[in-house]
Amino acid sequence: MNDFVTVRPAVLGDPRIPALVAAYHLSTEAEKGAPADSPAELPSAYRAEVLDPEAAFAGDTVLLAVDGEDTAAGVVVLTAPRAHGAPEIKRLWVDPAARGRGAAAALMDGALRHAEAAGARSVRLSVWLWREHALALYRRLGFETVHPWDDRPGLLCLEKVLDPTSSVERLDPARIRAHAADGLAALLVDAVDGGASLGFLAPLDPAEAASWWREVADEAERGVREVWAAYGTGGEILGAVTLVRTDKPNGRHRGEIARLIVHRAARGQGLGARLLATAESHAAAQGLTLLILDTQTDSPAEGLYRKAGWTPAGTIPDFAADPMGTLRPTTLYYKRLP
């Protein structure tokens, strides 16, 4: 099977859906200690999803991950909002032959994007505790444990609060250059003048900030750096994050999160976590298995990284000057991707 290239809404009559849903349920029942030899032996509610997905998922959104030859690699279902008001992500399944290529992260990203586009304020899901890789993915995407709506032993209920008032988009080199002298430069100036240690001294000249972003555009053109920006409802840039790739043959499995920035006027709304999760999901979808970063020790950013599951690797004293010119220590962090 080739690497998958896209996630798209499925037609419920697509014959690939029953096969993927059946594989999900057969695997789950086996893990629960109640193996079934065929879909006909599944519990009635699950059997109905396999036999008649058009009826079982009526009103829901079913997404398929497909490879370059249109072979189905995985599936996920985003339910229509129920009585509780929040849609639910369920039946996430990736064919074993397609695992390790980021299909699960891409399916989750697709489901979350559909939920945001529909105006959902949050999304729910449940996961069996023994599914450690899936749970790690959900945590990385910002899902948090909530009061259970299903009290079956071993089942964990999670929810993610969405922010439909802003959007996060990947910027190609042309868009980076287009915003370098205005929105992106203003964002960087605000962060540095506000005390963020990003490699510059305060006060930061907007021309210097714009020049740095143009260099970033050049790096994006060479394929060594990728950039995402968060936009407000009025089109203003509220935040940004970059992912740096190494061109060393022995390091192509890893990337570096660099320059996670949120404008001071937009902080406290979870935007930093959303930008970080977006970059992490993309890294996993590209097959990266390790991410690294460094941040000023005892800075507010440390709390964000720790909450997102990053592990501190050590602290270096007097590593870099803060915007006011005082030498500060930095803490190195890493995160393994499922």
- 148-157, Cβ contacts within 8 angstroms, sequence gap of 24 or more: 149/84, 149/124, 150/126, 154/128, 154/129, 154/130, 155/126, 155/127, 155/128, 155/129, 156/126, 156/127, 156/128, 156/129, 157/124, 157/125, 157/126
Q: Taking a C-beta distance cutoff of 8 angstroms, is the pair 74, 96 a contact?
A: no
- Residue 38 is which amino acid? S
H or E element that contains 93: strand 89-94
pLDDT surpasses 80 at 11: no
pLDDT surpasses 90 at 88: yes
Ranges 2-6, 44-48, 136-140, most confident: 44-48
How far apart (Å, rounded) are the C-alpha atoms in residues 151 and 168?
A: 35
Query: Residue range 241-269: average pLDDT?
Result: 91
User: Does the model's pTM come out above 0.95?
Assistant: no
How far apart (Å, rounded) are the C-alpha atoms in residues 137 and 112?
A: 13
What pLDDT shows up at residue 183? 95
How far apart (Å, rounded) are the C-alpha atoms in residues 229 and 238?
A: 7
- Cβ contacts of 171 within 8 Å, gap of 6 or more: 179, 220, 227, 228, 229
How far apart (Å, rounded) are the C-alpha atoms in residues 144 and 162?
A: 12
What pLDDT shows up at residue 298? 93
Over residues 274-301, the pLDDT tens digits come to 899 889 888 887 889 999 999 999 998 9
Mean pLDDT of the chain: 89
How far apart (Å, rounded) are the C-alpha atoms in residues 117 and 111?
A: 10
What pLDDT shows up at residue 164? 61
What pLDDT shows up at residue 291? 96
Query: Residue range 90-111: average pLDDT?
Result: 88
Give 151 or 260, the one with higher predicted confidence.
260
What pLDDT shows up at residue 46? 95
Over residues 161-219, the pLDDT tens digits come to 886 666 788 999 999 999 999 999 999 999 999 999 999 999 999 999 999 999 999 99
Nearest of 103, 157, 92 to residue 127 by alpha carbon: 157
